Amino acid sequence: MIDLSTYIRSQDKKVFAVLGLGRSGLTAACALAQSGAEVWAWDDNIQGREKATDAGLKIVNLNDCDWEKVHSLVMSPGIPLTHPKPHPVAAAAKKNAVEIICEVELLYRACPHATFVGITGTNGKSTTTSLIAHILKTAGQKVAVGGNLGTPALELPDLDHEGVYVLEMSSYQLDLLEHLVFDISLFMNISPDHLDRHGDMQGYIKAKKHIFDRQTKSQTAIIGIDDEESRAVFDQINVESKIKTIPISGHIRLAEGVFVSQGHLTDDCFIPTNTTAEEIVDLNTIERLPGVHNHQNAAAAFATCRSLGLSNAEIISGMASFPGLAHRQELVMIKNGIRYINDSKATNADAAARALGSYDNIYWIAGGLAKEGGIEDLDPYFNRIRRAYLIGDCAKDFATQLDKAVSYELCETLDRAVKKAANDAAQDGYKDAVVLLSPACASWDQYRSFELRGDHFKQCVNEIVSPSGARNQHGSIAS
């Protein structure tokens, strides 16, 4: 746990109010208390307050407290700051001129000499965060990875000037920073999301752009330009000329920047002046970075790691050994030339489109609790699907939407779908066949989380397709 004592001793007011006592909030409260601060802990739910009491923290109702004594309100990013309306405690803190921050800000104040890399975007930020951290670790760098991804910021180790914090940053967290300056900021992409928390699309983009706050020419901004809104952000930041900017793309050839063309990662940024763009690696040879969206992730990781001083060889080595993220186009197994891919994180059609666009000869397992619009927008990918295996609550609705465009089978449950898909893929014998779980749906009709759904898929694959599984003379799974 991060030691905040040096920072706490430098402040006149020693009271820190903490609102929201989930994992990150409770970690922040405990870190502050152990570092000598007086902590007023509060959660609207009694379960949160009970956990804080068990941890020895002081419970103070922040809806009725003396704000004159409070230095900062450390607020869980999940609690509304502005929309649809501010939480009453946030409104009271703002009225009393008390800063409202999140735990990532405290990490920066405790370890200001470390290098901070921040990654944001609607899609791909978790993979990019993990990929950057993996490359740095394999190159022998001192790295800690967390933030919105996995480990809360104050559970990370203390790092000095030789260390690098690689932090996934949500729009909620970016709204709660006061002094943190990212040495390298990544703005991956933007599409409508969390609009209820930011008012509208412009409010959402504004929150994401906080990742550039306080940066100067000594810092770097890496910005994806594969969508219209992100291109506008790049143009604005580049024209202002306050920050070193590097454009990246997963499929557009750039005159200057880092891009991928026909799967080839190319550097036209870190090369000597007046030299030809340099091809770095053929990403088609890296199994765990498939598809245009992962190509953008790779371009972002390359630009970041080169900015941090790594060589091309170190970056290529790290990419090649990247294990990928669970439930995000996760390669479970290759058996008899058939790949089994767990993309359970694809809980809507937009996410499923990235997976469907990454493969051919797909045996697609889809269904669950559908989002608005279902799979209507996936029509451009239907020609890649050999057969669909529909499960869960929306199976019949998806069947109607597929109509005659894609052959399908109603399977109800995941184990049946895996068995039928594996059989069909084995019998058809198409080259590069893929059994793909990319549900385009939430999991809640059959599973408590997409993680449990993905774990069940992996279990089914290992039981049905494992070397010990019984097969008939045609290579099919025995019923």
Binding-site residues for ATP sit at 121-127
* Cβ burial 398-412 (10 Å sphere, 16+ → b, else e): bbebbeeebebeebe
The token pair at 293 is: 């969206």
CA 185 to chain CA centroid, nearest Å: 15
Helix (H) or strand (E) holding 107: helix 103-110
Exposed, middle or buried: residue 372 (CB in 10 Å: 0-12, 13-18, 19+)? exposed
> Residue with structure tokens 């959660």?
43
* Cβ burial 27-45 (10 Å sphere, 16+ → b, else e): bbbbbbbebebbbbbbbee
Amino acid in position 287: E
> Residue with structure tokens 């599973």?
447
CA–CA separation, 408 and 387 (whole Å): 5
What is the 8-class DSSP label of residue 327? T
CA–CA separation, 246 and 256 (whole Å): 8
Q: Are strands 362-367 and 434-437 parallel, antiparallel or unpaired?
A: parallel
Annotated binding-site positions: 121-127
Instruction: List Cα–Cα distances, 273 to 239, 256, 276, 277, 399, in angstroms.
Output: 21, 11, 9, 10, 56
Cβ neighbours of residue 76 closer than 8 Å, sequence gap 6 or more: 19, 20, 21, 22, 24, 25, 102
